């Protein structure tokens, strides 16, 4: 891969992984517009690892507190708001794990195409707009309960369909269930840690067994660029989301879906 290609794809991954605009929709554009070949499994692992490092480091204090509270709850059988949130994150992860193991190959075979990505980009963009407009926006992530966490987890499982956007689907569900924008974003980001870690392990297993050559210099650059882009994205998204709302991302998704449809049919 050329250096420019590595930087652009890593930037796209890092910036779109945690915004509700679908990273898969964006990663299709360079190959469609510039005629680039698929970047390969090893590069996908690298840029996803960079994004995972970003969310873990950004929320390192929260993750440590949640982990300690969870382990303490196992020993003492007493629950705090932090231990409950940790249990809810685990519960919300289960649907994606089940769907990932049972339907991953089917989804990649039948849904990983430009038409599906364009349609889901538009449809789930409209759902995000509706959720943001109708949300009561009263609950924090500590107040939602296990039922709401499970429903948000089901939305995360749906996001395995390309173009849906994992963060977009989870934030949409959280807003519909009454969480504030800030709480919806924070819970979505924290939910991404176990799912992203598990996905990275699975893809790494496939990579180890793959005979394809590995460009370690490109991988290292991809990790660094993706990490920086994702970290900045998380920081500024949380800083401004309560003020700007979801409408800019909805409009962007609609425009992106229209562009993809145009590339497909024009």
DSSP code per residue over 97-117: HHHHHHHHHHHHHHT-SHHHH
CA 253 – CA 69 distance, rounded (Å): 38
List, for residues 3-47, the tens digit of each pLDDT value: 999 999 999 989 998 999 988 778 777 877 777 776 666 777 788
**Over 90: is that where the pLDDT of 98 sits?**
yes
Residues 24, 162: contact at Cβ < 8 Å?
yes
In the structure, what pLDDT confidence band is assigned to residue 248 with cuts at 50, 70 and 90?
Answer: very high
Neighbours of 139 (CB within 10 A): 18
Residue 137 or residue 207, greater confidence: 137
Identify the pLDDT of residue 41: 62
Identify the pLDDT of residue 20: 94
CA 160 – CA 106 distance, rounded (Å): 11
CB-based contacts of 232, cutoff 8 Å, min separation 6: none
Identify the pLDDT of residue 65: 97
* Total residues belonging to the chain: 266
Identify the pLDDT of residue 179: 96
Identify the pLDDT of residue 112: 78
Residues 222, 9: contact at Cβ < 8 Å?
yes
DSSP letter at 226 equals H
DSSP code per residue over 135-197: ----B-TTSSHHHHHHHHHHHHHHTTSTTS-HHHHHHHHHHHTTB-HHHHHHHHHHHHHHHHH
Residue 219 or residue 213, greater confidence: 219
Identify the pLDDT of residue 93: 95
Burial (CB < 10 A; 0-12, 13-18, 19+), residue 203, is middle
Identify the pLDDT of residue 40: 66
CB-based contacts of 211, cutoff 8 Å, min separation 6: none
Percent of the chain residues topping a pLDDT of 70: 97
List, for residues 178-218, the tens digit of each pLDDT value: 999 999 999 999 999 998 888 778 777 777 777 777 778 88
**Over 90: is that where the pLDDT of 137 sits?**
no
In the structure, what pLDDT confidence band is assigned to residue 58 with cuts at 50, 70 and 90?
Answer: very high
**Over 80: is that where the pLDDT of 92 sits?**
yes
Residues 239, 23: contact at Cβ < 8 Å?
no
pTM for the model stands at 0.91
Q: Which of 20, 1, 29 shows the shortest CA–CA distance to 233?
A: 20
Residue 2 or residue 29, greater confidence: 2
């Amino acid at each position: 891969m050329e250096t420019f290609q590595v930087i652009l794809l890593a930037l796209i991954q890092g910036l779109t992984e945690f915004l509700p605009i679908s990273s898969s929709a964006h990663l299709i554009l360079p190959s469609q517009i510039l005629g680039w070949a698929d970047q390969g499994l090893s590069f996908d692992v690298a840029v996803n690892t960079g994004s995972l490092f970003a969310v873990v480091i950004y929320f390192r204090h929260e993750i440590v507190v949640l982990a300690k509270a969870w382990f303490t709850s196992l020993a003492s059988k007493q629950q705090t708001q932090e231990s409950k949130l940790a249990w809810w994150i685990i519960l919300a992860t289960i649907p994606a794990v089940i769907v990932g193991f049972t339907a991953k190959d089917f989804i990649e075979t039948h849904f990983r195409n430009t038409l599906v990505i364009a349609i889901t980009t538009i449809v789930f963009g409209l759902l995000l707009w509706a959720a943001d407009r109708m949300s009561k926006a009263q609950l924090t992530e500590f107040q939602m309960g296990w039922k709401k966490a499970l429903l948000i987890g089901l939305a995360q499982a749906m996001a395995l369909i390309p173009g849906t956007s994992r963060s977009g689907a989870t934030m949409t569900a959280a807003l519909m269930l009454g969480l504030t924008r800030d709480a919806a974003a924070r819970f979505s980001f924290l939910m991404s840690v176990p799912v992203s870690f598990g996905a990275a392990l699975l893809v790494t297993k496939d990579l180890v067994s793959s005979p394809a050559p590995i460009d370690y210099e490109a991988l290292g650059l991809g990790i660094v660029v993706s990490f920086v882009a994702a970290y900045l994205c998380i920081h500024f998204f949380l800083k401004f989301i309560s003020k700007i709302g979801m409408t800019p991302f909805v409009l962007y998704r609609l425009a992106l879906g229209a562009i993809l449809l145009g590339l497909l049919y024009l």
